[in-house]
Chains A and B, each alone.
Chain A
Amino acid sequence: DAGVIQSPRHEVTEMGQEVTLRCKPISGHNSLFWYRQTMMRGLELLIYFNNNVPIDDSGMPEDRFSAKMPNASFSTLKIQPSEPRDSAVYFCASTLRDGRNQPQHFGDGTRLSIL
């Protein structure tokens, strides 16, 4: 079975450019999570969706960050304009919520470098 699929795997871009990260959750999963990981702050939850609806975006750093989930099989995280401090590894994870919190399964991540 295919796991969580993220693209691109690496992104290097200049400050001020728009960055779009993509995620395809595991088929049948109904919850999707976007995380950011840095050495200083560890793994931080940015936003999560249940049944394609954003539930909690309190972790989104500022208005430059936005996320969408137009259907059950696709989500995007967009940064516009990007800044050097956004450099990090961004992970997408998915799970099936069936009344109990099942484990989240992570994609391989997108390593983002903003110059």
Chain B
Amino acid sequence: QKEVEQNSGPLSVPEGAIASLNCTYSDRGSQSFFWYRQYSGKSPELIMFIYSNGDKEDGRFTAQLNKASQYVSLLIRDSQPSDSATYLCAVDVYNQGGKLIFGQGTELSVKP
């Protein structure tokens, strides 16, 4: 059974701080890693994706991947109240035609 684990939270950070969201996965063959943001009552929205070890930056967001440790993280710099949402980590299943396994999500609350 392939698994993706996230801290459920809630994670609370003050406005302007760095929020760090973490995710571990069990499938050593996984090649593609995605972070989605989901506001309450809305659909998941893609934030970042990463394929290679290291860091990938896009604006205030940085995704970090360490395949040896089977660990992927999302950093949000200068956190804003509008970043308050649930963040879902998704990992592909090796050789399964694009199938993704989603974590349970981490709820982030950014306090003004």
Q: Is A55 an interface residue (CB 8 A)?
A: yes
Q: Are B44 and A43 in contact (CB under 8 A)?
A: yes
Chain B residues proximal to chain A, CB less than 8 Å = 31-32, 34, 36, 42-46, 49, 51, 88, 90, 92, 96-105
Contacts of B36 in A (CB 8 A): 106
Q: Are A107 and B46 in contact (CB under 8 A)?
A: no
Q: Which residue in B32, B46, B97, B102 is a CB contact (below 8 Å) of A56?
A: B97
Q: Are A97 and B97 in contact (CB under 8 A)?
A: yes
Give bound CA distance, A77 to B27, whole Å: 29
Give bound CA distance, A97 to B101, whole Å: 17
Q: Are B44 and A48 in contact (CB under 8 A)?
A: no
Contacts of B31 in A (CB 8 A): 100-101
Q: Which residue in A48, A100, A104 is a CB contact (below 8 Å) of B51?
A: A100
Q: Are B32 and A101 in contact (CB under 8 A)?
A: yes
Closest to A3 in B: B43
Q: Are A101 and B104 in contact (CB under 8 A)?
A: no
Q: Which residue in B100, B103, B105 is a CB contact (below 8 Å) of A104?
A: B100
Q: Is A105 an interface residue (CB 8 A)?
A: yes
B49 to chain A minimum Cβ distance, whole angstroms, is 5
Q: Are A31 and B97 in contact (CB under 8 A)?
A: yes
Give bound CA distance, A101 to B93, whole Å: 10
Q: Is A34 an interface residue (CB 8 A)?
A: no
Contacts of A48 in B (CB 8 A): 97-99
